Amino acid sequence: MTDQIRHARTVAVANQKGGVGKTTTAINLATSLALDGMRVLLIDIDPQGNLTSGVGLKGQQAPAGTIYEALLTEAPPESFVLSTSVENLSLIPADRNLTGAEIELVSVPAREQRLRRVIEPLRGRYDLIFVDCPPSLGLLTLNALVASDAVLIPLHCEYFALEGLADLVGTMRRVRSALNPALDIEGVLLTMYDDRTNLGQLVARDVREFFKEKVFETIIPRNVRLGEAPSHGIPAVLYDAKSRGAAAYVALARELRARHAA
Ligand SMILES: Nc1ncnc2c1ncn2[C@@H]1O[C@H](COP(=O)(O)OP(=O)(O)OP(=O)(O)O)[C@@H](O)[C@H]1O
Ligand SMILES: [Mg+2]
């Protein structure tokens, strides 16, 4: 990789439904890939800042501030990047201030393209960039879709999993027709799967019928370690590398790499 000119593929982790595993996926997939030697940048664009706290950087700012200032000022994008405790893994952090951006961006010219402006100059420095979206289809998520090559959609394996996805797919279609024609689906990821219930299996079958080969073969099980790790500010793949949850994210990283190698 080091001999090649980098042009980081940018993947938005999005689903407007809350609590489906977006942040858990961004953290653990990115960490697995970084441990594998890829240079990875995480971008938190959720005012909840769960991604930032999940890698142990809660409340921290880069020299020029957080993603809030990155979106709303002209400071150079690299001045918003923090190192994490994981080698090869960097972060542009977010905090509560970002709540205001959704409103303040409305009056900014080319308001849907602010994140693209931040990401483009950084692509040469990384192999992959992940953007962790908030649970809404507002201006922040729109910025992520405009700035990205593809969307990774985590789906909680429960009865209403597919409900509301039409809105996300519709938003993606509008983004494609207007500002980002190449926007692709990176993959649909089944999360919080409980193999003791029939429901999980039924939902998985329905999702595969609908999204076909776009669904990752790897399924993320419901696993208590994945829920515990964020409170320690350590990615689960490091917090308990032997847990089923960690193993699933390592397998997902391998699957993602294999897809792109093919
Ligand atoms: N596979 C899993 N098994 C058990 N708990 C999980 C799993 N994945 C995520 N969790 C926990 O479930 C909660 C929601 O996960 P997460 O924060 O990743 O979802 P999200 O989609 O980013 O949520 P939000 O929409 O609020 O941003 C968190 O407390 C997380 O630790
Ligand atoms: Mg989240």
**Residue found under tokens 């994140």:** 115
Q: Is the CB of 20 under 6 A from ligand 1?
A: yes
- C-alpha to C-alpha distance for 173 and 141, rounded to whole angstroms: 14
| Predicted local distance difference test score (pLDDT) of residue 136 | 96
What is the CA(235)–ligand 1 centre distance, in A?
A: 12
pTM of the model: 0.97
| Predicted local distance difference test score (pLDDT) of residue 130 | 98
| Predicted local distance difference test score (pLDDT) of residue 85 | 97
| Predicted local distance difference test score (pLDDT) of residue 69 | 98
Could you tell me if 148 and 113 are in contact, meaning their C-beta atoms sit under 8 angstroms apart?
Answer: no
| Predicted local distance difference test score (pLDDT) of residue 261 | 87
Mean pLDDT over 164-193 rounds to 95
Could you tell me if 256 and 214 are in contact, meaning their C-beta atoms sit under 8 angstroms apart?
Answer: no
Q: Which ligand is nearest to the CA of 22?
A: 1
The per-residue pLDDT of the chain, averaged, comes to 95
Residue 1 has pLDDT above 60, yes or no: no
Give the atom of ligand 1 at the shortest distance from the alpha carbon of 223. Answer: 3
What is the CA(251)–ligand 2 centre distance, in A?
A: 21
| Predicted local distance difference test score (pLDDT) of residue 4 | 54
- For every residue of the chain, DSSP letters joined together read -TTSPP--EEEEE--SSTTSSHHHHHHHHHHHHHHTT--EEEEE--TT-HHHHHTT-TT--BTTB-HHHHHHS-S-GGGG-EE-SSTTEEEE---GGGGGHHHHGGGSTTGGGHHHHHHGGGGGG-SEEEEE--SS-SHHHHHHHHH-SEEEEEEESSTTTTTTHHHHHHHHHHHHHHT-TT-EEEEEEEESB-TTSHHHHHHHHHHHHHHGGGB-S--PBP-HHHHHHHHHTS-HHHHTTTSHHHHHHHHHHHHHHHHHH-
Q: Is the CB of 49 under 6 A from ligand 1?
A: no
For the chain, which domains are there?
Answer: 9-259 (3.40.50.300)
Give the atom of ligand 1 at the shortest distance from the alpha carbon of 229. Answer: 31
Could you tell me if 131 and 115 are in contact, meaning their C-beta atoms sit under 8 angstroms apart?
Answer: yes
Q: Is the CB of 232 under 6 A from ligand 1?
A: no
- What is the percent of the chain with per-residue pLDDT over 90, rounded to a whole number? 87
| Predicted local distance difference test score (pLDDT) of residue 198 | 86
| Predicted local distance difference test score (pLDDT) of residue 218 | 98
Pocket test of ligand 1: the residue of 13, 17, 24 to mutate, having most ligand atoms within 8 Å of its CB, is: 24
- When comparing pLDDT for 25 and 204, which is higher? 25
**Residue found under tokens 């590398």:** 241
Residue 254 pLDDT level (bands cut at 50, 70, 90): very high
Residue 157 has pLDDT above 90, yes or no: no
Q: Strand 82-83 vs strand 9-13: parallel, antiparallel, or unpaired? A: unpaired
- CA nearest neighbour of 29 among 45, 4, 9: 9
| Predicted local distance difference test score (pLDDT) of residue 58 | 97
| Predicted local distance difference test score (pLDDT) of residue 5 | 63
Q: Is the CB of 135 under 6 A from ligand 1?
A: yes
| Predicted local distance difference test score (pLDDT) of residue 199 | 87
Mean pLDDT over 2-31 rounds to 90
Residues 99-141 have pLDDT tens digits of 999 999 999 999 999 999 999 999 999 999 999 999 999 999 9
- C-alpha to C-alpha distance for 32 and 213, rounded to whole angstroms: 23
Residue 164 pLDDT level (bands cut at 50, 70, 90): confident
Residue 3 has pLDDT above 70, yes or no: no
Amino acid identity, residue 232? H
Give the atom of ligand 1 at the shortest distance from the alpha carbon of 15. Answer: 21
Q: Is the CB of 90 under 6 A from ligand 1?
A: no
Pocket test of ligand 1: the residue of 226, 231, 250, 252 to mutate, having most ligand atoms within 8 Å of its CB, is: 226
